Amino acid sequence: MLDSSRHNLKITVMKFFLVFAIIAILIAAIIAVLVPYEPRNPLSGKEWPPGSPWPLPYNMSSTATVLSFNPATFRIVPLVLNSEQCDPLDFAVSKYNNDFLFATIEGIPGVPDPEVGLISELRVLVVGDASGNTECQNFPRFSDDIDVYERYAITISSDGLADIQAFTVWGALKGIETFAQLIWNNDNFDGNGPLHFYVNETIVQDYPRFPHRGLMIDTSRHYQQEKIFYEVMDGMMYNKLNVFHWHIVDDQSFPYVSIRFPELSAKGAYTSRHVYTQEMIARVMEAGRLRGIRIVMEFDTPGHANSWGHAYPDLLTPCYGDGVTPDTPNYPQHAARENLNPMEEFTYSFMRDFFEEIVQDVSKDIFVHLGMDEVYPPCWESSPEIAEFMRINNYTSIPEVQEHFTTRHIAMVQQLGALPIIWQDPLDFGVNVDQDVLIQVWKNWGPDWESNLQNVLDKGYKTLLSAPWYINYIDYGESWRNYYEADPVLSLPNITEAQIPLIRGGEACLWGEFVDQTNILPRLFPFISAVSERLWSHDIPISSQATNDARRRLDHQRCRLLQRGIPSQPILNGYCGAWEVLL
């Protein structure tokens, strides 16, 4: 009996080791397959020459002829046709200085290559539009005349002459950025030989595909310091984005300091230090002007308005959480008060006074964003006062209550001389919105957004697209591909030729629930670069091949951003030369 047990134990042990050996062999085989996976599958897509710009210009041709620079003596010469002062151009000449254009590792300066021709200066000529306007003294504005307003031409000839011509200063700024991207070097940052900077003989004719190319940042959930705006707008300028959509307040906090209603921020901001004064906002707007970037401010109502109620509770609608008592919550359906109160004239007079301050004293842009997304019906549905209001006005549904506020609020802002932008939500609920209102499409972020955009176009509205470009959602891998393969025209199979002009452009959006100054820059860059090329560049198809062709050039742009001090996430394996070790 004992011998039999021992025999069985031996067999069991042998089986165990046999199974273990098989598993070990399988694991080794899997590892053998996985480890060399990348070497066996080289990166697909186009190999771009050094100095390939992002976003891709409308028309660009280069030859193999190269010219060199002397970083110690090269200069940019600004020329304005009527010799007026041109602050944005002066700012660009200062910003794109030789240390910027010919950035080197400490102790290894660049020198001219004696074997090739030399470019000694870049002449930037702003000639003015048909009316002679160079825009030098203006804030940038929305313009449908995209063939003129931001158009520029670059000529770099083999005889060493380089010039940029533009109708307006905003085109000149775009041309200077492209010229800076055309410069490349021989990458001798290790000190083994001289470091040379080059540019190919090149001709560029360029203008944007859409006039509105924006980025939305939310500063209510988390406060962003003033310096962050300048860093973000630098990155926008490097990608030819031209609209900073400032979602400045929301439920969580009210950081805007109103002169007429100072209690809004005194009681609605996180602290007295988490605020944006009008002086600070003026500095941000001037910084945007110098970079060719419009600042569009958003004050979201009637939903997302709880922070207004800290100072002025009567602005908000009392909710009846228990069915009989006002100011009672019913979590998670609604708080004690939700949404601006559409029944009271106080709401409309207050909003008129507040937006009069914004339109006349603060904003420098013709557009103001009114929000109007995610109104919470349960509070209004709980209120017997809302029910009586509906009876008096012969309303039979809550969307009609929303339309009551929406139409009055929009008309008031229009009377103040501003052009409203709203999120798409009122249209989704059947609200009759004025046709002059610009509709921003945000649903459904990710998949199935196309039908929402098509629905807005079918109703004849001018529109901005944001739905596929929510940068705040984190994904692993080459997530930029999803942004790059979303196109406001090409993604819509049923769009008509008459509807294409209704698309004014689009915006990437970065909501602030999990974003503050510690992570905002690497969350944005280089992902908004993918959006910028879709909105600037012409004739880029939606295909895996087109995306593969863009990936190396986008990787170069990411390295370029690192070199310029913008912490930008990697999109591929590899490295960006010495710039990574200097961060």
First to last CA, the chain: 74
Specify whether 374 is catalytic.
yes
Helix (H, G, I), strand (E, B) or coil at 110: strand
From CA 152, how far away is CA 174, in angstroms rounded? 7
User: How far apart are alpha carbons 334 and 244 in whole angstroms?
Assistant: 32
* SS3 assignment, position 471: coil
Query: CB of 238 within 8 A of CB of 564?
Result: yes
Scanning the structure block, which residue is given the tokens 């048909």? 130
Please compute Rg for the chain using Cα positions.
29
| Of 288, 180, 176, nearest in space to 241 by CA | 288
Alpha-carbon gap, residue 361 to 213, rounded angstroms = 25
In whole angstroms, what is the distance from residue 565 CA to residue 521 CA?
Answer: 10
- Peptide linkage before 493 cis (omega within 30 of 0): no
Buried b vs exposed e over 251-261: b needs ≥16 C-beta within 10 Å? Answer: bbbbbbbbeeb
Closest CA to 275 of 252, 251, 255, 247: 255
**Residue type for position 28:** A
Element (H, E) at 74: none
Cβ neighbours for 117, distance < 8 A, ≥ 6 positions apart: 67, 68, 158, 159, 160
Residue 577 CB contacts under 8 Å (≥ 6 apart), including other chains: 187, 189, 559
Closest Cα to residue 355, out of 302, 430, 418, 277? 418
C-alpha 179/C-alpha 475 separation (Å) is 33
d(CA 444, CA 221): 22
d(CA 415, CA 142): 19
Catalytic residue among 374, 388, 513, 580: 374
| Residues annotated catalytic, as ranges | 374
